[in-house]
Structure 1
Amino acid sequence: MIIVTGAAGFIGSNLIRGIRTLKGFESHPPQIKKNIIAVDDLTEGTKFNNLSNYDIDDYWDKDLLLKNIEEDRINFKVDCVFHQGACTDTQERDEYYMIENNYRYSVTLFEWCQQKKIPFIYASSAAIYGSNTDLSEPKSVFNDKHNSYKPLNIYGHSKLLFDKYVSKKLSLSKKISQVVGLRYFNVYGPGESHKGNMASVIYHFNKQALKDGEIQLFKGSHGWEDGEHRRDFVYVEDVVSVNLWFLINKGVSGIYNVGTGNQWSFNEVADEIFKWHGIKPNKKYISFPEGLESTYQAYTQANIDKLKGMGYEQEFKNIEQGIKKYLDYINGPKKS
């Protein structure tokens, strides 16, 4: 049995699809079971669509999972816990809620997995790095060996707290059961529509292009020109592949950046979307909403040397490949 928290969310639902198919891992060990317990909060009323096409063996909410752990009611073999559940709203201001939901919940699951010797693979975030304004060497801040963590919001802080907790546990014992933290960079792809404002810019740019043929980008800031803020955009299918690699390679622990290792400007992203639609680029540069600029992550680029050094060899899609695949999915393939 595999437990997936955040199962109806963006990455969680794509992960369930990946577990069911293990695409790209046809030689996976046969002992890996594909029975899945989905853990999530469906009170929002729209996320259930992300699970409607996938078979799951049971559905629990967070409280039931924690109750079953506390009362030791989980009496079946658990092959792995994929912990994708979290509040990912970078503009959330309720610190108590974020710490309880993103940090303490994670600690409880981690300690239970260690007690039961269950592999634990969890979602961290590039938000722990904050924003880099040193344009002479931007990539250095996003090296997972670099001690330069400057989260700009409580979301990033909550993720950093748990990363530090895990790092300390890893440093204190060589007998620790598998624990893997994956610092996701700017993920995009199918299954994110329920995220609203927190959906990727690719999702929002596509909606704008469809509506009136215009895409709105932020004016320059943090040393960047209009629309030139840059991100390491990584396709969700590639993020799932990294998760599945660690599911199969159970002897590998640690915390790893998960991005392409490259970066693209928002102008470049907009141009790719205009190209897909076959329309002339029409960009409008707008000011930041009040309060956002000071907590805005203007640049991200993952250093993935550590991930590759552990033996991960699959290629990541570039922005042209990823946008084409995504827009073909949500808009329907273009007619030739």
Structure 2
Amino acid sequence: MVIIVTGAAGLIGSNIIKTLNEHGITHILAVDNLERADKFFNLTDCVIADYLDKREFIQLIESDSLQRNVRAVLHQGACSDTMEHNGRYMMDNNFRYTTKLFQYCQEREIPLIYASSAAVYGGNTTFKEDPSCEAPLNVYGYSKLAFDQYFRSHVQQTGLTAPCVGLRYFNVYGPREQHKGRMASVAYHFYNQYVEQGFIKLFEGCDGYANGEQRRDFISIEDVVKVNLWFLEHPEVSGIFNVGTGVSRTFNDMAVATLNAIRATEGEDEITLTEMCDRNFIQYIPFPEALKGKYQSFTEANITSLRAAGYHQEFLDVNEGAAHYVATRRGALIKD
């Protein structure tokens, strides 16, 4: 039986495929859009059984012509650019595409795990999987919320014929994100800035936060993959779940962790945030006008539902995660 991974050449999809391979699973149908061919680097050390363009794939789904014996679908494909303003494209790509895939899986009793996003919470300060907490600030967040609402409505009206899990990812970072450009994680940008320029740039204060003190729930791709594969192995569980560490950390924390991880690979001692600022290793830049009113200055996943579902593994904190990430970058496993 084949496991289908959409967004296969992306950050999450390619790491899932690599980990499946490490577990001896290679009968994988990879689905993506390689018009931007540089994403292929993420799959060069992976083994798949077949590849389909995302448009060909959904056409086969719509016409019931896929002709595969499918164990499960891990739907990671989406437009994740929070600055994308074309709502029609966003809804077609993120909402309509997912509804078609969901309907197909339900009709054929195929488990589906799909990527939602913490962007559904917008500027809220409570991040619980509840409609009262959901108020996205951009059309990307809305496109993800729209399908979550569709899923909830389906469950309430008709129930499920096959397992379905929505994973609301918080701030994911890790190897295989070099293709994401401006939408890559801050860990990726911090690493590149320090290696190329000798300093890291952070936003000045906003929304009542001091310079670099905006807070996010940073979660390593290692943990995101573990959560996906746990749900793959527990088809008795369905629902929408936050995927974060449950602890927010400041951008300053991530910058310090990344810089000290780089220093460690060079045999240098750790230094503090104050020392980094004094030595101009960290510099603060004006907060962009284009992001005002559309920016989450604080996120922190409530992971009560995830724990209640049975997922009990501990998450890497930013120091551990940044160290793993930098070690991978230094190993040049992925080409930038």
- Asked whether the two chains share a fold, i.e. TM above 0.5, the reply is yes
Please name the residue that 1:317 is paired with: 316
Secondary structure of 1:180's match? strand
Please name the residue that 1:177 is paired with: 162
1:150-299 pair list within 5 angstroms: 150-278=135-263, 281=276, 282-299=281-298
Give the counterpart of 2:77 among 74, 82, 85.
85
- What is the letter of the counterpart of residue 190 of structure 1? P
- Contact persistence 2:95–2:143 (CA under 8 A): yes
Give the counterpart of 2:98 among 106, 112, 118.
106
My pick for the range that moved more, 260-269 or 169-178, is: 169-178
d(CA) in 2 for partners of 1:94, 1:216 = 29
1:12-91 pair list within 5 angstroms: 12-22=13-23, 34-91=26-83
d(CA) in 1 for partners of 2:114, 2:52 = 18
- Contact persistence 1:234–1:260 (CA under 8 A): yes
Please name the residue that 2:266 is paired with: none
TM-score (norm 2): 0.91
d(CA) in 2 for partners of 1:332, 1:67 = 40
Q: CA deviation at 1:288?
A: 2.0
- What is the letter of the counterpart of residue 70 of structure 2? V
d(CA) in 1 for partners of 2:262, 2:66 = 50
The answer on 1:305 being equivalent to 2:304 is: yes
TM-score (norm 1): 0.91
In the alignment, structure 2 segments of 5+ residues that lack a partner are 264-270
In the alignment, structure 1 segments of 5+ residues that lack a partner are 24-32, 133-137
- Contact persistence 1:123–1:181 (CA under 8 A): yes
Q: CA deviation at 1:175?
A: 4.2
Deviation string 1:165-185 (CA, Å, 9 cap, x unpaired) is 001112223443101000000
d(CA) in 2 for partners of 1:330, 1:199 = 14
Q: CA deviation at 1:209?
A: 1.1
- Contact persistence 1:170–1:176 (CA under 8 A): no
Runs of 4+ in structure 1 deviating by more than 4 angstroms, as ranges, are none
My pick for the range that moved more, 211-220 or 297-306, is: 211-220
* Identity fraction in percent: 48
Deviation string 1:184-214 (CA, Å, 9 cap, x unpaired) is 0000000001000000001101111112321
d(CA) in 1 for partners of 2:193, 2:67 = 50
Deviation string 1:201-240 (CA, Å, 9 cap, x unpaired) is 0110111111232111101111111100000000001101
d(CA) in 2 for partners of 1:277, 1:37 = 36
